[in-house]
Amino acid sequence: MAKGNSQVSRLDSKSTNRDGELAQTTLLLGRPPISIPEVVLAPEEGPATVISVVNQKGGVGKTTTTINLGAALAELGRRVLLVDFDSQASMTIGLGIRPFENEQYGSIWYLLNDPQADIREAILKSNVPGMDFIRGHEDLAAAEARFVSEIAKEHKLRKLLAPIINDYDVILIDCSPSLGTLTVNALTASHGVIIPMECEFFAIHGLSLVKETIQIIKSNTNPELKIFGILATRFDRKTAHSREVLELIANQFPDEVFDTIIARTIRFSESTSQGEPITTFASSSVGALSYRRLARELIYRGDSK
């Protein structure tokens, strides 16, 4: 599964050569550029870093980020597990499972409901070496009502992942566009959060709600939870509006905003409809290079193994 260091360096230098074309917060705002090391060392031993990809606003790039950041981390030799924690099951479909094939049996919903279920049996291999996933299912929509009176219902996902935590370096959880029971479970199971944010004015107001939820989780179920970063997505270099919003985010959250920005490109929709990450569908596209840079940035910041 894990790749050797020679391959890591090759992929890295490919990304770095193209960095000049990629949107970066520092460069766009005329700030001193951040240099992210080209060579990424092999991950340390020990349990996986668990990361929730969260924003209650819909369509901001959570699923796209989960799939493509996961694929980029796997290229860097990380053993990656993706969990589709959304009843829309977009991640599952984006990894090539057709909706009519997506049975409840073997999905994360099935695992949450059957205490005897073996999580290892539900793990599927993606087309990216080193990247596995657990399917989502439409019945996850019933979670709110189903778990309402359960004791310790916030800890269900954390307990579910415990037996396989040492089998992976990174576990990414694709959350639904809400801050309900499922997302509370994801945040309780996580070390940190990535918040994809569309570069559009109303998105900033939504951020305070995500941050409040994180504070509530920290005070109640997971004191160690961190914000690993805010990721500007669907950025359009041609509009002054995208840039103004980026500047607002960077001024309000200077330590949190990632330097790597994900620009708007049709390639993401195209790759999803083909059921594969952009890193394999259009390996040298700007979108693929951006997610590879994000993977290196996350490791460089110490937020991923």
Ligand X SMILES: Nc1ncnc2c1ncn2[C@@H]1O[C@H](COP(=O)(O)OP(=O)(O)OP(=O)(O)O)[C@@H](O)[C@H]1O
Q: Which residues bind ligand X (CB under 6 A)?
A: 58-64, 86, 88, 90, 177, 233-234, 262, 264-265, 268-269, 272
Structure tokens at 205: 């107001």
Cα 250 to chain centroid, rounded: 20
Cα 17 to chain centroid, rounded: 25
What's the DSSP call for residue 120? G
| Residue 126: contacted member of ligand X, Mg ion, none (CB under 5 to 8 Å, by partner type) | none
Q: How far is the CB of 218 from Mg ion (least distance, A)?
A: 24
Q: How far is the CB of 60 from Mg ion (least distance, A)?
A: 9
Q: Which of residues 15, 65, 90, 285 is near Mg ion by CB under 5 A? A: 90
Task: Please work out, in degrees rounded to the nearest 5, the angle formed at the alpha carbon of residue 223 by the alpha carbons of 254 and 258.
Answer: 25
| Residue 264: contacted member of Mg ion, ligand X, none (CB under 5 to 8 Å, by partner type) | ligand X
Phi and psi at residue 41, in whole multiples of 5°? -75, 160
DSSP for 127-186? Answer: SSTTEEEE---GGGGGHHHHTTT-TTGGGHHHHHHGGGGGG-SEEEEEE-SS-SHHHHHH
Q: Which stretch binds Mg ion (CB under 5 A): 88-96, 145-153, 234-242, 277-285?
A: 88-96
Residue 12: C-alpha distances to residues 8, 145, 155, 172, 228 (Å)? 6, 46, 37, 21, 22
Q: How far is the CB of 196 from Mg ion (least distance, A)?
A: 9
Whose structure tokens read 């179920």? Answer: 221
Which C-beta is closer to Mg ion: that of 82 or that of 111?
A: 82
Q: How far is the CB of 101 from Mg ion (least distance, A)?
A: 19
Which C-beta is closer to ligand X: that of 168 or that of 268?
A: 268
String marking each residue 54-83 x if it binds Mg ion according to CB under 5 A: --------xx--------------------
Q: Which stretch binds Mg ion (CB under 5 A): 87-95, 194-202, 266-274, 297-305?
A: 87-95
| Binding residues vs Mg ion (CB under 5 A) | 62-63, 90
